[in-house]
Chains A and B, each alone.
Chain A
Amino acid sequence: MKVSLTVNGSKHKVDVPSNTLLVDILRDHLGLTGTHVGCDTSQCGACTVHLNGSSVKSCTILAGQAEGVHVTTIEGIGSVTDLHPMQAAFRDRHALQCGFCTPGMIMSAIDLVNTSKGLDNRAVREGLEGNICRCTGYHNIVAAVLQAAEVMQGSSDE
C-alpha cells in the first residue's frame, strides 16, 4: 500500500506491505535509525516519536494509520551544533548510560514538558512510565527533564 506522510518537515511517499509498522517505515525506508526498537511488544518506549505533536509508540502504529500524519523523530528536534534543550540537559546531567532508550526518553520528555505545568520529580517519573531504561539510570534522566523543563517553560515557572 502507498502511504504519504510528513517526517521532520519533509514529505515522503512509501510503498509498503500493510503489515508494516511506522517504526519500520522510519528506520528501513527513510533511514531514520535514531528511533529504536527495544522490546517490540509496545512496552519499552524506545520507539517513541511525535505523531501530530503527541508522543506515541511507533512500533504500535500500522502503515495505514500513518497516512497523512506529521511525524517528528529524534533527528527532527535539534542538530549537533544546536541541540534541543532536552538533548542539552541529557548531556549536562549525564542522563544516558548505554543510550539505547535515550531517543524515546527524549521524545516522551519533550511531550511531557509541553503538556504539563509545575513538574516535579514524581510527575516526571509518572510521565515517563511508558519508557524503560534497562541501565536503570532514571535518577539522572529525571534531573535532566526537570532542568530542560525550566529552560523550555521559562524560569518564571515554579
Chain B
Amino acid sequence: MYPFKYHRPTSLEEAASLYNGSDDPVYLSGGMTLIPTMKQRLAAPADVIDLSGIESLTGISVKGDKLTIGAFTTHAAVMASADVRKHIPVLAYLAAQIGDAQVRNRGTIGGSVANSDPSADYPAAIVSLGTTIHCQNRSIDGTEFFKDLFETALEPGEIITSIEFSMPTRAAYRKFPNPASRYAVVGVLVADFGGSIRVGVTGAGPCACRASGMEKVLNDNLKPAAIDAVEVPDAGFNSDLHASAEYRAHLVKVMAKRAVAAMLEG
C-alpha cells in the first residue's frame, strides 16, 4: 500500500472540507473494496477520509411507509434489524447474501451503493424498491443513481448520508453467486408494489438497472413462465472470466424466474 494521509472527521462539513482541500482524496466507509484495492496498489489516494466518526450516518428508522437506513450501517446490522425484517424482509435476505460474515460486519450500505460495483447486491434493491439516495445537500432518485461501471450520479465530494426505501407488498431476490467471492454473477430483485411489479437487475451490465420489458410482461401475467416470452439481449452486458455476456443474459431470465417463484410462494 502506498502512503497516504488518514483523516477521521466528526461531521459532514469537516469531511467535505477535507475532501475539497486535497488533490487526490477518497472517502472510506467500511473499506471492504477500497482497502483491498489500495493494498494491490490499484488505488493510491493522497488523503483517506474515514467517515466512521460521523455518528449521524448510522442507524435504521421507520417513518410512515418509508424505511431509512443510514449510509454507514453495516450489512450485518441490516440483516439483524427487526425493522428491516418486518417491513422489507427482502433487504435483510439480500444483505445476508453479501460476501462473508467478516465482510458483512464491516461493509456498509452507503459504501456499496456509492461504489457501483457491477456485481454488488444492493444496487438491485436501489433501482427496484422505490428508493431515494440522500446526500448532504440533495436527494437522488434510486433509478437515476447508477450511471456506469463504478460511476454514479454523485458529484466529487458528495457523501451518501442515508437511503430511503419504499415498502413493497412482497418481494424476492435471487442471485447466482460467484462461488469464491459471493459477488452476484447476476442478481434479480422482483418487487410487487400493490400490483405494480418492479424488477432490478445487478451483475449483468456495467451497472444495475430496471428491466422494464420484464416488468411489462409480469404486470400482465405474474408467473415465472411469463418470463419465457421476454427477450433479454446481451448487448452491452459484461463478459469476463466468470461469465460471458450471453450466459449472463440467460442467467437474468433464470434468476428472474426464481425470484418470481420465491415471491409467489411468500
Contacts and interface: CB of A to CB of B under 8 A. Distances in A.
Contacts of B40: 41
B32 A18 contact: no
A72 interface: no
A77 B230 CA distance: 56
A60 B52 contact: no
Interface in B16-40: 28, 31-32, 35-36, 38-40
A32 to B, nearest CB: 18
Contacts of B32: 42, 60
Kindly state the interface size class of chain B when it binds its partner. 20 to 34
B262 to A, nearest CB: 18
B137 interface: no
Nearest to B105: A54
B105 A63 contact: no
A21 B102 CA distance: 16
Nearest to B100: A130
Interface residues of A, number: 32
B2 interface: yes
Contacts of A43: 180-181
A109 to B, nearest CB: 10
B57 to A, nearest CB: 15
B103 interface: yes
A43 B103 CA distance: 10
Nearest to A52: B105
Interface in B141-195: 180-182
17 contacts: A18-B5, A19-B2, A19-B3, A21-B1, A42-B36, A43-B181, A45-B100, A45-B102, A56-B105, A60-B32, A60-B35, A61-B35, A65-B31, A67-B8, A108-B101, A129-B100, A130-B100
Interface of A: 1, 17-19, 21, 40-43, 45, 48, 51, 54-57, 59-65, 67, 108, 111-112, 127-131
Given A42-B103, A43-B181, A62-B31, 5 more contacts: A18-B4, A18-B5, A19-B3, A19-B38, A131-B100
